[in-house]
A and B are shown apart, each in its own frame.
Chain A
Amino acid sequence: MDIRFKFMRFRKIASLISVSLFIISILSLGLRGLSLGLDFSGGTLIEVSYESPVSLESVRNNLQENGYPDSQVVNFGTNLDVLIKVADQSGNSSVGEDIFNILNNQEIPIELKRVEFVGPQVGDELRDQGGLGMIVALFMILMYVAFRFQYKFALGAVSALAHDVVIILGIFSIFGWDFDLTVLAALLAVIGYSLNDTIVVSDRIRENFRTERVLDPIDLIDLSLNQTLGRTLVTSLTTLLVLFALFIFGGELIKGFSLALILGVLIGTYSSIYVVANMLMSLALTKDDLAIPEPEGADFDGMP
């Protein structure tokens, strides 16, 4: 049999890396939390475009004098675009207009690019909904994989997904990147993508467990990983190609989104190789687990 690369030889190191990344992520999420974007924190965000570069300090001072002491002022993309964030919790929806008027009174002409106001209640709701959506997604996938494969695969798949999601969240937390609705969308897309990978690998493991009679589980898993490696790498590569195109050319608005996806594809590719296989090993997958159920299950097994 053609086992070019003995993946499972490194499984202990891989577990160690995964577990420590996971713990670091959890710690960071617990201690630092996520820097929640406007969608979840509520408040007001204004993006304006100046005709000539402007010093952020002067914008800050100007806002401070006019009753917005706690505003965040940053450049957005170019040094002509300025993004102002006011974490005003009082739910006043006219802050945006007010700030635009304050800034518009200065010498340099500005153009309003966008205003976003999210009331505190809506922010809370979006947050709850997002979290709930994530849990429901994981649960439904668990059910589907358990139904189509076997519960050990389902546990493997879901732990791989949880692993991916937590580590991406952890990275966002450590670097203090803004976590908003588009990043949440990316995270759910990562779940979909990573699962795609996981299923392809699991599918092959299942097939090999049923057909190959001579090898022990470690070799069987190694064989399956080798057989799917080409495909895994090609798909990850094409996906990364488009994601980098999106990251570089897609503009500031979807930077966070494409970043989360790039991380997701990298981590997802790794996790579909190691996390799933490791889980299967720890759960001691045997051939009996995959005995073709008779008779109605015969439709599902995909083998002649």
Chain B
Amino acid sequence: MILVVGSIYALPNLYPTQPSIQVAYTDSGRSADQSLLNELEDILQDSKTEYEDIFLRENKIVIKFEDVDTQLSSKTILQNTLLDKVIIALFLEPSTPQWLKDLGANPVKLGLDLSGGVHFLLEVDIDTAQQGRLELLLDTYRKSFKEERIKFDDSSIKDLKLFFQMADNQSYNKALKRFRDDSPLINGVQYIITEKPASNILMLEYTDIALREIRDYAVGQNLTTLRNRVNELGVSEPIVQRQGSNRIVVQLPGVQDPTAAKKIIGKTANLEFRLEANSRTSPLRKEEFVFKENEFRTAFLEKAVVVSGDRVTNASTGFDESGFAQVNITLDMEGGRAMQKATSGNIGRGLGVLFVEQKSKSELVTNLAGESIIEQNTFIEKKIISLATIQAVLGTSFRITGVGSPAEASELALLLRAGALAAPMKFVEERTVGPSLGKENIELGMKSIVIGFSLVVLFMVLYYRVFGIAANISLIINLVLITGIMSLLGASLTLPGMAGIVLTVGMAVDANVLIFSRIREELKEKDPQRAINDGFSRAFVTIFDANVTTLITALILYIIGTGPVKGFAITLSIGIVTSMFTAIMCTRAMVNIVYGNKNIQELKI
């Protein structure tokens, strides 16, 4: 039974894959339909490109080709004709028959080191997210204190703490009460309040619970944003996952140009819409910024942010009446309300769009031990990308004109559309495997498995004869089971994973060897049938103990390992379990078939 299931799930790996492309609309809200399918068909027929199949699947159109060359050339043809309207991704479509797919049987997934592609590990800058929250909080309290006539002389943010210098004791008490009222959360309190009644100073900082919430929100928001950005890249099976408390893993199998991918993913940009400062704006409430395309031009904007990039739900490029590029922006409800409130009294004033980017710069500093070391300092750069005059009260949708060339407009739209990040991120790990190396790795891995396997099989037959053949059949079943279970679990196969399979092949015979040598010993005192029987049952305890401990180390490896090493832990664990099963059950069954119910006088082993 287990064998049948194992074989069925191992089967898909025998079918070859087919070069294919996948076409989707750039606008993620729009699903591919029959009309796009017809359009693609027409283009391919016009260019006399031969394709095997074209069909709709889950909002996307899949086209299969005979070979890789046609796949690549038709991608170029389609992209040149349809331009930015669609995203085209190359991938290999498994030719698994339908009945196997219906059973949920799919080929083993290949890890990045075998398929080629990029792996990124990004770290979310929580401090900046916290700083952003504090700025918002400061703004809220300033406004509401003014409305409620709670007087304060000074307010600022220092070392991730809000600082309020209240004007008198009465205001101090009112403010303190206000902070205490605001503090409770469902699961605790959000502020740590430092009280200095003598000098009327109040300080506020976030508790660990509140910080965790900020962190989770920022990471969650960035995860969504990254998913959108990755979708824009048109990769067929991307992985975007949270790892640990503040990191995000991005894996793009099959991506050939890591630089381009990094450019889109790594844009740790945010956007801020702010009103331009006018003569009535107090000097404390305004800030000077330079323009992105012209370092010498500057403008003053208000410090208060009207709407930030995470409120943007959609953005697209278009052309205005005079043929210049423009960006059409749609905000969510909250963003729309804020925009409406800010613009209603301010028609004729300027509205600036700030592009916020995290950059880093290395500096040579001297550490405590007196050595010169390079220190990495990240800083945030804010530049104006557009300053336009407000023509009317803006709501959830509006447009920005004067954004430069169509290409610049479309890049801005892409960034806006993909959503801005809640907190900046930086790359902490990057691994790129070129497609040729991936292919090479598969070949090397397969070769080692085949050679290692043949050597072991040969040795077993020479050394144990009939029992060796039984052990070898178990070994083959073992390989089938490992492949089947890998497919079933959807685990990725990596190069160390293949090494794990090779190692399993070597170690799997151990159980058989243990049984056989035990039988040999028992033969000295007992008749063959009893020797076989006792050999199996006595060896079992040893096999069990030995394998449980190996399994412990494999599990630990799985927990501490990353990427390829995890692959090794997976194949090793699966291999241990299957080899125990095959050695004990399958070999036994075969030995029984050969020697069972026969009166054997002599047993060669």
Q: Which residues of A contact B (CB under 8 A)?
A: 47, 49, 88-94, 96-97, 111-119, 121-122, 126, 129-130, 132-133, 136-137, 140-141, 144-145, 148, 181-182, 184-185, 188-189, 191-193, 195-196, 199-200, 203-204, 227-228, 230-231, 234-235, 237-243, 245-246, 249-251, 253-254, 257-258, 261, 302
Contacts and interface: CB of A to CB of B under 8 A. Distances in A.
A261 B503 contact: yes
Interface string B408-449: 000000000000000000111111111011001100110110
B495 interface: yes
A176 to B, nearest CB: 22
B374 interface: yes
- Residue with the greatest number of chain B CB neighbours at <10 A, chosen from A144, A189, A203: A189
Contact of A185 (B258, B440, B496, B547): B496
Contacts of A192: 549-554, 572
Q: Which 9 A-B pairs have the closest CB atoms?
A: A242-B452, A302-B541, A119-B428, A192-B550, A245-B452, A242-B506, A133-B560, A93-B427, A239-B506
B428 A121 contact: yes
Contact of B362 (A90, A141, A253): A90
Given A235-B513, A251-B440, A302-B538, A185 B569 contact: yes
Given A181-B561, A238-B459, A242-B506, A118 B550 contact: no
Nearest to A128: B560
B69 interface: no
A245 B448 CA distance: 5
Contacts of B436: 49, 111, 113
A254 B499 contact: yes
A239 B502 CA distance: 9
A260 B427 CA distance: 31
Interface of B: 113, 121, 123, 258-259, 262, 266, 360, 362, 373-376, 426-434, 436-437, 440-441, 444-445, 447-448, 451-453, 455-456, 459-460, 463, 495-496, 499, 502-503, 505-507, 509-510, 513-514, 517, 520-521, 538, 541-542, 545-554, 556-557, 559-562, 564-565, 568-569, 572
B553 A188 contact: yes
A189 B572 contact: yes
A90 B372 CA distance: 13
A94 B373 CA distance: 19
B282 to A, nearest CB: 40
Contact of B542 (A115, A136, A203): A203
Contacts of B495: 250-251, 253-254
B384 to A, nearest CB: 25
Nearest to B362: A90
Contact of A137 (B426, B441, B513, B552): B552
Contacts of A136: 556
Given A132-B560, A238-B509, A242-B456, A117 B503 contact: no
B428 A91 contact: yes
B373 A111 contact: no
A222 to B, nearest CB: 16
A261 B572 CA distance: 14
- Residue with the greatest number of chain B CB neighbours at <10 A, chosen from A129, A181, A184: A181
Contact of A133 (B375, B445, B559): B559
Contacts of A204: 542
A189 B362 contact: no
Contacts of A89: 373-374
B583 to A, nearest CB: 12
7 contacts: A90-B374, A93-B427, A113-B436, A182-B568, A234-B517, A240-B506, A243-B503
A185 B562 CA distance: 10
Contact of A227 (B440, B521, B548): B521
Contacts of B562: 126, 181
B554 to A, nearest CB: 7
B389 to A, nearest CB: 38
B506 A243 contact: yes
B111 to A, nearest CB: 12
A135 to B, nearest CB: 10
A114 B432 contact: yes
Given A118-B429, A302-B541, A242 B455 contact: yes
A111 B455 contact: no
Contacts of B373: 89
Contacts of A253: 113, 441, 495
B494 to A, nearest CB: 10
A126 B121 CA distance: 13
B501 to A, nearest CB: 10
Contacts of B376: 90-92
A246 B113 CA distance: 17
A94 B499 CA distance: 31
Given A90-B375, A181-B562, A245-B451, A231 B514 contact: yes
A122 B545 contact: no
Contacts of A196: 507, 510, 546-547, 549-550
Nearest to B456: A238
Contacts of A245: 448, 451-452, 455, 502
Given A92-B362, A111-B436, A191-B553, A231 B459 contact: no
Contacts of B440: 251
A96 B113 CA distance: 17
B429 A195 contact: no
Nearest to A116: B431
- Residue with the greatest number of chain A CB neighbours at <10 A, chosen from B123, B375, B432, B547: B432
